[in-house]
Structure 1
Amino acid sequence: MTYFEEYEQGSTRKSHGRTITEADIVLHAGQTGDFYPHHMDAEFAKSLPGGERIAHGTLIFSVAVGQLAGEVNDQAMSYGYDRVRFIRPVHIGDTITSRSEIVALKEHTKRPELFGIAEEQVEVVNQRDEVVIAFVHLYLVNRRPGSES
């Protein structure tokens, strides 16, 4: 269990790689209803700059969140995501890795005696170490009981 007082600005994490498959794209399309031809139509995708289908940005975002979800921290929960940017396309067969850094620790504005906010900058890179998605993951983290804000 990690309380807010135990978070350290500058601490980093890195996931293992995961190769994106056609099955990932088809499953995500079925779950979301996004059957846009950029993702689903191989012939249409030949006319795109990359010449092939691209994975949904929301698929890659979801996989990245899961890659860093490792161990459960009973003292923290996701509070949201800021500044999500889809920078480069991900194609079938690309392998993505997620890396993160705690970039800010802030007091909760309404309940600073109970909670803090940890901001984690996340970059998702492909096998060429090119950033494909970047975002900030916000965590609502319990303060240690009896600690001062």
Structure 2
Amino acid sequence: PNACTQVHIADFGLIAQVVPRLAGDCVACGVCEEVCEEGAVTLQDRWPLFDVQRCLNCGLCIRACPKKVLEPEAQGFKILVGGKLGRHPRLARELKALATEEEVLKTLSAVLSFYKTHCQRGERLGSIIERLGWETFLEALLKSGQDQAL
């Protein structure tokens, strides 16, 4: 993914995700295994196996498959919140994986509402979450009706 580090330093970031699955007869060419930088794809008995603990759901294996037998099983967005650079940098924290577009919009609305309610002058989202606590942040999102989105 291009500029994949930028979302980790944003107040609210999104990473497109696609979960791969085998949807045809694999010819065991090994291209999917070669392109996976995470080592999440291995060929065993002529079939690709996906290690869900290592897979970032980037979709490189799907795009690289010359026979087009890998396809998306699920697609969505990973939502990250609270990142920033500067004197006291902080990496964003994952809020939800494989969120739909509708869930992203609802979550963004809830996060903005939380920010407006709790922001002290010039404070970044991550600082608010740090000051009030992750659990308080999650509870506020749930109270705003985002329980289906999280």
TM-score normalised by structure 1 residue count? 0.30
Q: Which has the higher contact order (CA 8 A, sep 6+)?
A: 1
TM-score normalised by structure 2 residue count? 0.30
